[in-house]
Amino acid sequence: MNRKSLVLCAAILAAILAAPARSPAAATASTTAQITSQLKEAKKASYELRTTAERLAAITRGISHSWQSHSQSLNEAREHLNRLGQMLVDLEELKPHASQPQQMAIESMRPRLAQMANALTSAIELVSVGSNNIRFSPYGDAVESVTEHSTSLHQTLDTVLKYEAAKAQFDGLELEAATQLVR
């Protein structure tokens, strides 16, 4: 081997050794943090959807609101639901890198969003067919379904995020205790 080749090999080896190594654990921790952040955003969006659905359910029980009020709330709920659907697509791409509780939360989103979409579509169609439909039980049942599923989704996301935070805190305590034993 000539001197130039030897110097080139040594330079490449030095560059490889000098480059910061990315451990799988570091990549996983980074990805887990990204997933946690996105789940927090989904929790916030599910809360907004739940609030809109609860407001819609309240005006459904009353008789003084116009069909336009219902239509406005239905459109707002649809926007929140569409936003959650977009978030789910992003979360499903990251799912293989998620912790088990995060995976469970991501998996539980799709059926709930689908059920809410069906119920919301039904409510929207009932209003578009006839404004008096807001007074009948099929409309109220559809609105109640959206409320129940949005509440359930919010509670699931909240529980998983609280679990992840508690686990991180516990892991930190274990690390701290281990370092004190070494001293």
Q: Which pLDDT tens digit goes with each residue over 108-144? A: 999 999 999 999 999 999 888 887 778 888 989 999 9
Q: How far apart are CA 100 and CA 112, in angstroms?
A: 19
The stretch 82-98 carries a mean pLDDT of: 95
For the chain, the average pLDDT equals 83
What pLDDT, on a 0 to 100 scale, did the predictor assign at position 26?
A: 42
* pTM, two decimal places: 0.76
SS3 track for 55-100:
HHHHHHHCCCCCHHHHHHHHHHHHHHHHHHHHHHHHHHHHHHHCCH
Tell me the pLDDT band of 103, cut-offs 50, 70 and 90.
very high
Distances from the Cα of 171 to the Cαs of 59, 85, 114, 178, in angstroms?
A: 46, 32, 36, 11
Better-predicted residue by pLDDT, 76 or 172: 76
In order of their start, the domains of the chain are: 27-182 (1.20.120.660)
The one-letter code for the residue type at 32 is T
| pLDDT > 80? residue 23 | no
pLDDT digits (tens, 9 = 90+) for 61-88: 877 778 888 889 999 999 999 999 999 9
Q: How far apart are CA 47 and CA 168, in angstroms?
A: 24
